Copies of this chain bind each other. A is one copy, B any other.
Amino acid sequence: MLTRRTPISIPDAQAKIANLPLKPQTEIIPTIEANHRVLAKPALASYDYPHFRRSGMDGYAILAEDDHDFPREFKVVGEVPAGATWDQPLQPGTTVRIMTGAAVPTEASKVIRIEKTRPSKDGKTVRMLTTESHSNITEIGTDFHAGDEVLATNQEINPGGIAALTAFGVEQVTVYQQPRIAILATGSELLQPGEPIETGKIYNSNGPMLKRLVEETGGIVDFEAQLPDEPEQLKDALEKVIQTHEIVITDGGVSVGDYDFIGDAARQADNLLFNKVKQRPGSVTTAFVQDGTFVMALSGNPGACFVGFYLYVEPLIRRYQHRPSRIKEVKGILAKPYTKTNGYDRVLRCTYEFKDGQFLVYPNGTDRSGSLANLQTTTCFCVIPHSEKPIALNAEVTTWLLPFKS
């Protein structure tokens, strides 16, 4: 059935998704697993750090009252390797040998580094040549005091943050969840991997592509299916994954033809965001919310599917995690002719170079919706505004730099 649709602009479609209220969930996970996750609660220091007076050097600890008239002889009364403590009071005229990172005796005021000393052969005495301008002791609480924020809420944890957390023995952190995402590839033309190729049939390439796009964006793909154009089967699958996922991505089944199953689901949904966008490729791109789940229906055409993911899905997956989109919008210069005109804005697959302070943008081969030859090498999109006249060479064009593509 041919159903009329009301197309909206690309920015309007993006805004409808950006304005969706989200309730990001949090979870408690092991600190060691939290690299690149975003903290939902601050991590506080449970004690002063360092929690003991730590020697910054290999050397000899001395009392303040002995810190004059060098060179000077000391009696060596013991040794404090890293991990050990010295539990006897340090007496005037005596010293303990101490290692970097070891606990300095309570009474000591300074560590004379080993390079400035000459121990006797039997090790029982040491001659210290000069004093030091610094104490070479890191005092208790130099880095953090108990109760200080080690990491603040909304920070994306990185390996340096993991070091700080593990230094406090913080074994778990509260972070925003990664959204769980289902991918439904539709089309009776889709072969299963390993099936022999035949006329009219193709391998499912959008499904694997979307899976990796979602994953490198931080989403979790925990359901994938490949479904024929059978209304009942598709309806059942869609209803099921809507109950169990934050986001559902479909590809195919959104054209204007007889097999517009997803289009029907969209029209009956709780909240139809849009079912036509003034864009090429992928004007049939459809988005709706059903039972609190966001459903993104992308075109089955590889080029349109690829563009649609970046324009509409990437920012949402990132927002669930409290992370900014990795797509950078810049002003580009169209540095190679593009002459086709269109009644809709065209999102053109391109490459770019940054030269003399400008992003020079080059159309990357074909602009056909069905082509997948240029997806690997495309590093940005530029927008060719709808017009009856071809765009001028060197025109300024809105450009989106894609992540992982430099």
User: Which of A13-21, A251-259, A386-394 forms contacts with chain B?
Assistant: A251-259
Contact residues in B for A199 (Cβ distance below 8 Å): 51-52, 85, 103
1/0 per position for A203-235, CB-CB distance to B under 8 A?
A: 111101111110110000000000011000000
Contact B159 A212 (CB under 8 A): yes
- Which residues of chain B have C-beta atoms less than 8 A from A374's C-beta? 160
**Smallest Cβ-Cβ distance to A195: which chain B residue:** B169
Residue-wise, chain A 378-401 has the 8 Å CB interface mask toward B (1 for contact) of 100000000000000000000000
* A56 within 8 A of partner (CB): yes
Residue A147 at the chain B interface, CB threshold 8 Å: no
Q: Interface stretch among A61-69, A76-84, A124-132?
A: A76-84
Contact flag A84-B376 (CB < 8 Å), given A202-B167, A208-B32, A208-B166: no
A175-183, A185-193, A263-271 - interface stretch: A185-193
A70 interface contact, C-beta 8 A:
no
Q: Is A101 an interface residue (CB 8 A)?
A: yes
**Mask for A122-165, Cβ within 8 A of B = 1, else 0?**
00000000000000001000111000001100010111111110
In the assembly, how many copies of this chain are there? 2
A52 and B200 in contact, given A115-B256, A209-B159 (Cβ under 8 angstroms): yes
The answer on a CB contact under 8 Å between B216 and A375 is no
The count of residues in chain A whose C-beta lies closer than 8 Å to any C-beta of chain B is 98
> Closest CB of chain B to A169's CB: distance in Å?
5
A85: chain B residues at CB < 8 Å are 199-200
Contacting pair B203 A168 (CB below 8 A):
yes
**Within the assembled complex, what's the spacing in Å between the Cα atoms of A191 and B83?**
9
Shortest CB–CB separation between residue A135 and chain B, in angstroms?
A: 13
A357 touches B (CB below 8 Å): yes
Residues of chain B with a CB closer than 8 A to A157's CB? 376
Min CB gap A304→B, angstroms = 11
A246 adjacent to chain B (CB < 8 Å): no
Given A56-B369, A82-B189, A138-B368, A100–B255 Cβ distance below 8 Å? yes
Given that A162-B212, A375-B160, A375-B161 are known contacts, is A255 also in contact with B83, CB under 8 Å in the complex? Answer: no
Contact call A188/B83, Cβ cutoff below 8 A: yes
Known: A102-B200, A204-B166, A257-B58. A372 touches B83 (CB 8 A): no
Instruction: Tell me the nearest residue of chain B to A369, going by C-beta.
Output: B56
A298 to chain B, nearest CB (A): 13
Chain A 10-53 residues near chain B, CB threshold 8 A = 31-32, 35-36, 47, 49-52
Bound Cα distance A201, B52 (Å):
9
* CB–CB B200/A171 < 8 A: no
Once the chains are docked, how many angstroms separate the CA of A242 from the CA of B358? 48
Apart from A158-B405, A163-B209: 13 A-B pairs, beta carbons within 8 A: A35-B212, A80-B200, A82-B188, A82-B189, A83-B189, A85-B200, A101-B300, A143-B371, A155-B376, A159-B212, A160-B377, A166-B205, A169-B193
Shortest 10 CB-CB contacts between residues of A and residues of B: A160-B375, A58-B257, A83-B189, A83-B188, A161-B376, A163-B209, A103-B200, A167-B205, A82-B189, A159-B212
